Amino acid sequence: MPRPKKIRCVRFLPQVNYFKPKGIPLMDLEEVVLNVDEFEALNLVDLEDKDQETAANKMGVSRSTFQRILSSARKKVAEAIIQGKALRIKGGNYVMATMRKFECADCGHVWEIPFGTGRPTTCPSCGSTNFHRAAEQRGPGVGRGLGPCGKGKRSR
């Protein structure tokens, strides 16, 4: 029996989720489905130039898992372009990364950082270390000790 896939963290959903070659009727097209976690892997490495380790951390997966997601993503995009297929972006095993909010006790500065990036060491505004998690928190997993991006809620 296959192991259940580990949930991946993504920061946002694609704005456009369907690409199709011009001039070919939809009914004649084959479709490639790119999962949202694959989309995020491509985005992190190929567009934002993150190294794979950083990208893997952001998505809350191991390097080897990330490598698999990325190569699958690249292959699907290549397949769509080279073989003239439509590309649909949907599904996959992911949760939306929620943001953590911090508030500086010295200058009152409030800022947010995504889960999975580690706790900040100083206030980005005044450099003070006298800051704390801001009271108003949203999103799954907050305050319940759940994983780097609020694991436990599955989106599809």
What is the contact surface with Zn ion in residues (CB under 5 A)?
Answer: 104, 106-107, 109, 123, 125-126, 128
In the complex, least distance from residue 127 CB atom to Zn ion, rounded to whole angstroms: 7
CB atoms closer than 10 angstroms to residue 26: 9
Handedness of CA 51, 53, 59, 62 (dihedral sign): positive
- Identity of the residue, 81 or 105, whose beta carbon is nearer to Zn ion in the bound complex: 105
- Identity of the residue, 110 or 146, whose beta carbon is nearer to Zn ion in the bound complex: 110
- What's the CA gap between 109 and 102, in Å, rounded? 8
State which amino acid sits at residue 106: D
In the complex, least distance from residue 106 CB atom to Zn ion, rounded to whole angstroms: 5
- Identity of the residue, 107 or 113, whose beta carbon is nearer to Zn ion in the bound complex: 107
**DSSP output for 95-125:** EEPPEEEEEETTT--EEEEETTS---SS-TT
In the complex, least distance from residue 121 CB atom to Zn ion, rounded to whole angstroms: 12
In the complex, least distance from residue 120 CB atom to Zn ion, rounded to whole angstroms: 11
- Identity of the residue, 68 or 109, whose beta carbon is nearer to Zn ion in the bound complex: 109
Tell me which residue of 116, 118, 112 sits closest to 99, measured CA to CA.
112
- Identity of the residue, 31 or 106, whose beta carbon is nearer to Zn ion in the bound complex: 106
In the complex, least distance from residue 143 CB atom to Zn ion, rounded to whole angstroms: 23
3-state secondary structure at position 1: coil
Q: Can you read off the two tokens belonging to residue 100?
A: 């953590």
